[in-house]
Chain A
């Protein structure tokens, strides 16, 4: 009898634990959705509406078409994003990268930029990722102040090399991507 009781308690506990975890995960998800995802969707929708309806779209298309549909152009974009003074300014919340990504997406959808450039473009618009956050990120890793002093310029300068390099790698990795069309 005791054995059965113990078993029931054990089963009940673990089932309760799993259900509780799932419920908690759902709650966390809805929380993130409302606080982080939907606000950004609203903002992005406005920008897409603006781009599609007004002439801004064509204006941007002319500007970025040359840049975003050749390897050299994408390299220029990546170098600009990786300039050590600009990169921390472009970084916060990845807002700039998200807006540029959305604009490029609109132009890809309209056929102004070939689809296979989507992969290198993802890297070209993002060499500045986290450049605004280096001291905080290092502090989260419990780095000494001396490490932060060295780490900030080290990461910033590294991006100047690895930013364009990532575009080249992505460019070669994009062969065969949506290219049958």
Chain B
């Protein structure tokens, strides 16, 4: 380029059909250049933190031992109002945290049949709210949160507030979801029982 400037040669923009093709090609590649820049910012920005965090939490989970929460599963299977928060808040949280998606749903085996759909509903609804702070729980589906979080970052705001609220509201939502699904399941089971 410098050499050409030195020779004072000027090259006009290509015109006509060929020019249109050239513009098209430039436009085409600009899409991927923009995408590449985004990829680089993801790889350079969030990925290193994510890898270190995932390693630390994975190690922690291994050191504690996921089988420890099985006792809680047995306890959560009891009827009674005080066990609702355990069954549809504490147990799903711990199951998703320690066993991650999809093995978290295996905790359902400690519960009676009538609670299983509600527990599954509760646990599966938590695999995204938890990723804001604990991405190890569902590393394959991070962009539900990360996609929206990227927009917040573009605006220059901190993500802590959003991540924490997502985590907490998620707990409330899975609690309600567990109760509603339990009620619906009980109704449908009763109806089937009456029909049989």
Which of B36, B166, B172, B188 is in CB contact (< 8 Å) with A119?
Answer: B166
Instruction: List 8 tightest A-B contacts by C-beta distance, closest first.
Output: A141-B108, A49-B35, A108-B151, A130-B124, A109-B154, A151-B117, A101-B147, A102-B147
Which of B30, B39, B145 is in CB contact (< 8 Å) with A45?
Answer: B39
Which of B62, B111, B142, B176 is in CB contact (< 8 Å) with A24?
Answer: B62
Contacting residues, chain B, for A106 (C-beta < 8 A): 150-151
User: Counting CB contacts under 8 A, is B22 at the interface?
Assistant: no
> Quick one: given A25-B59, A49-B36, A169-B173, are A142 and B108 in contact (CB under 8 Å)?
yes
Identify 6 new A-B residue pairs, CB closer than 8 A, beyond the known A154-B185, A169-B172: A25-B54, A25-B59, A49-B37, A129-B125, A143-B116, A166-B169
User: Counting CB contacts under 8 A, is B140 at the interface?
Assistant: yes
User: Counting CB contacts under 8 A, is B180 at the interface?
Assistant: yes
Main DSSP-derived SS at the A contact region: helix
Interface contacts (Cβ under 8 Å), in number, total 279
The CA of A92 and the CA of B107, in the complex, are separated in Å by 22
Give chain A interface residues in 146-168, CB to chain B under 8 Å. Answer: 146-147, 150-155, 157-159, 161-162, 165-166
User: How far is the CB of B77 from the nearest CB of chain A, in Å?
Assistant: 12
Give chain B interface residues in 120-150, CB to chain A under 8 Å. Answer: 120-121, 123-125, 127-129, 136, 139-150
User: How far is the CB of B97 from the nearest CB of chain A, in Å?
Assistant: 15
Contacting residues, chain A, for B142 (C-beta < 8 A): 37, 40, 98
Contacting residues, chain A, for B148 (C-beta < 8 A): 101-102, 104-105, 108, 118, 121-122
The CA of A62 and the CA of B127, in the complex, are separated in Å by 30
A119 contacts B173, CB within 8 Å? no
Contacting residues, chain A, for B34 (C-beta < 8 A): 48-49, 52-53
The CA of A111 and the CA of B157, in the complex, are separated in Å by 13
> Quick one: given A33-B47, A173-B168, are A166 and B157 in contact (CB under 8 Å)?
no
User: How far is the CB of A61 from the nearest CB of chain B, in Å?
Assistant: 12
How many residues on the B side are at the interface (Cβ–Cβ under 8 A)? Answer: 81
Q: Which chain B residues have a beta carbon within 8 Å of chain A's beta carbons? A: 27, 30-39, 42-43, 47, 50-51, 54-56, 58-59, 62-63, 102-103, 105-109, 111, 113-114, 116-121, 123-125, 127-129, 136, 139-155, 157, 161-162, 165-166, 168-169, 172-173, 176-177, 180-181, 184-185, 188-189, 192
Contacting residues, chain B, for A155 (C-beta < 8 A): 117, 120-121, 181
B102 contacts A137, CB within 8 Å? yes
B31 contacts A50, CB within 8 Å? yes
B108 contacts A98, CB within 8 Å? no
B51 contacts A138, CB within 8 Å? no
Task: Write 10 A-B pairs (CB below 8 A) sorted by A numbering.
Answer: A21-B63, A24-B62, A38-B47, A45-B42, A53-B30, A101-B148, A118-B148, A140-B106, A147-B117, A154-B184
The CA of A99 and the CA of B144, in the complex, are separated in Å by 8
B127 contacts A129, CB within 8 Å? yes
The CA of A99 and the CA of B147, in the complex, are separated in Å by 8
A126 contacts B128, CB within 8 Å? yes
B150 contacts A122, CB within 8 Å? no
Which of A29, A118, A130 is in CB contact (< 8 Å) with B151?
Answer: A118
User: Counting CB contacts under 8 A, is A2 at the interface?
Assistant: no
Contacting residues, chain B, for A165 (C-beta < 8 A): 173, 176
